[in-house]
Amino acid sequence: MRSISYIVIHCTATLQSAKVESIQNYWKNNLKWKSPGYHKIIEPNGTVRTLAPDAAVCNGVKGHNSHSLHVSYIGGIDAKGNAKDNRTPQQKAAMERVVREWKRQHPQAVVQGHRDFAGVAKACPSFDAIAWAKEVCL
Ligand SMILES: [Zn+2]
């Protein structure tokens, strides 16, 4: 198994109605990525879709992927495209389950949001993931 230093929380920065397949197509066809952006993506109804095994390296945060696990919820912006924490209760619960399980397997890993990495100018995941992780993981 890879050594995991970070469990990274993301939003897709799409409307909540976005489909996992269209997000995957965007990565593949527009960004020309060979691997997905996240290991797991959480739909508004709480369904967790696994896009890559934990052993795989995904494209979540440039420069930090070899030692990170990435999970994202679908959403994170309002109708005007501004950052907004619009996680559904089901997405929050599912994210908590995913992160707790990863933290159990990788107790040394730091849980943080995409925006918490130095030099990242994005709002992703549109909420304070460090504070959230303290509530749900400790
Ligand atoms: Zn992100």
pLDDT along the chain (138 residues), means of 10: 94 96 96 96 98 97 96 97 97 97 96 97 97 88
Residues pairing with 110 in the sheet:
6
CB 12 within 8 A of CB 20: no
Domain that holds residue 92: 6-137
pLDDT number for residue 24:
96
Distance 62 CA to ligand 1 centre (A): 10
Q: Please count the structural domains in the chain.
A: 1
Cα torsion through 55, 67, 23, 134, rounded to 10: 110
Helix (H, G, I), strand (E, B) or coil at 40: strand
Within a domain: 52: yes
Distance 73 CA to ligand 1 centre (A): 10
Q: Can you give the CATH number for the domain in which 76 is found? A: 3.40.80.10
